Every structure is written in C-alpha cells, then in structure tokens.
Amino acid sequence: MRKKENNEKVYSAALQVFSRYGYKKATVEDIAKELNMTKGNLYLYVKDKKDLYHKSVEFALLRWQHYVRQAIHNELDPRKKFLIMCHKAVEYLSIDADFRNILVHDPEIFPMFTDHDPYERINHNSVTMIKNILKEGIEKGLFRPVNISAMSKAIFSIYKMFIIRMYIRSEEKQVRSMFEQTLELIIRGLFKQ
C-alpha cells in the first residue's frame, strides 16, 4: 500500500509541475523539488522524464475514470446512469485544473483519431464503460436495440470532440449548450419512450 501512496504522491506532484511549465520546460529537478526529494530518489519510481510524464498522465486519466465510475456506481436505472456518466465525464476537467492545463499543452493525450493513441488501454476502458451501460439498458428494455460496439465508439468520439472544444480550445461557454442539445438528441434516439 505504501508504494501505491508514494506513486500517487509522485504522479500528483509531476502533474502540478507539468501543468505549470509544460512537458518541455518542466525538469525532473523541478518535480523532485516539489516532492522534497532528490532527483536520484525520484528515479526509484520512473526511468526518465518521459516515463514520469506518461505514468503521470495515465494516473490522471485513471483518476478521471474513477470519478465517473464512482458517480454511477450506485445508480440502478441505466438511463440515469447514462446521463450521469455523460455529465460527470465532461464536468471532470472543470475541477482538475492541472490535468486540464496538461491537455491544453498536449492534446494528443486525447486524440480524435485512434491511429496512434498513447493511452489506448485506458480509453478502451472508457468505451467499455459506455458499452456496459448500453448493454444493461437494452437488456432491461429501456434502450432501443443498437449495435453496442459501434454506438459506444460513436458516443466516445462525440465526447472527445466536446472535451477538445470545451477545455482544449477554450470554447466552453459556446459549446456547453451544444453539448446539452447533442445529449438530448442521443437520448431521444437511444431511450425507449
């Protein structure tokens, strides 16, 4: 347990430094200083700056997923679960300023096209979360029968577009209404009336 806590502390500090300076300008020394440790001790956790960046971003993405999972965990109605998932997933970056700043500097963390997705496993798990809700809704007769695989990928792609427009391109005010209208269109096509 101690190693996990230490890793989380290292990754959180690294996220703060990368958020402040960006990947190129941030140094391992800056991160070690943030942690009150030597550069040598920091290398007990990671191979190099690139490894630290990758692991820190993975940590942030997993924290984002955990936030959404916790929000839907006790919800039994797949319709409510779907709506909560959509809102919480988009809302998260409004409360995680460090990760939001990192995404602004490095939008390739969250690529629109999956030819080269450096966090494919984590993003795949997000698509799986959508699939599970769709499957549950269809099985309970609350959602129209759809191609679950295709629909979950389509929803995730739409979601990524909104994340990019709201937080990376700083169009949140203009796009918030568009998000709600798009969500309304999706649920009118997905939910049985």
In a domain, 29, yes or no: no
Residues in Cβ contact with 153 at an 8 Å cutoff, skipping those fewer than 6 apart? 127
* pTM, entire model: 0.90
Calculate helix-pair angle for 97-105, 2-25, nearest 10 degrees. Answer: 40
Any domain includes 88? yes
**Does residue 118 form part of some domain?**
yes
Residue 143: what are its φ and ψ, rounded to 5°? -115, 150
pLDDT in tens, 75-88: 999 999 999 999 99
User: Is it the case that residue 1 has pLDDT exceeding 60?
Assistant: no
The answer to whether residue 148 is domain-embedded is yes
In a domain? residue 90: yes
The answer to whether residue 7 sits within a structural domain is no
Looking at the chain, the whole-number percentage of residues with pLDDT higher than 90 is 73
pLDDT one-digit tens code per residue, 26-60: 999 999 999 999 999 899 889 999 999 999 999 99
| 28 belongs to a structural domain | no
pLDDT in tens, 67-123: 999 999 999 999 999 999 999 999 998 899 999 999 888 888 877 666 788 888 999
Average pLDDT of the segment spanning 153-176: 86
Domain CATH for 149? 1.10.357
The CA distance from 81 to 177, in Å, is 21
Residue with tokens 């440790």: 37
DSSP state of 110: S
Whether 93 maps to a domain, the answer reads yes
User: Which tokens sit at 4?
Assistant: 């996990």
Average of per-residue pLDDT across 145-168? 92
Specify the length of the chain in residues.
Answer: 193
Domain carrying residue 153: 58-190
Please count the structural domains in the chain.
1
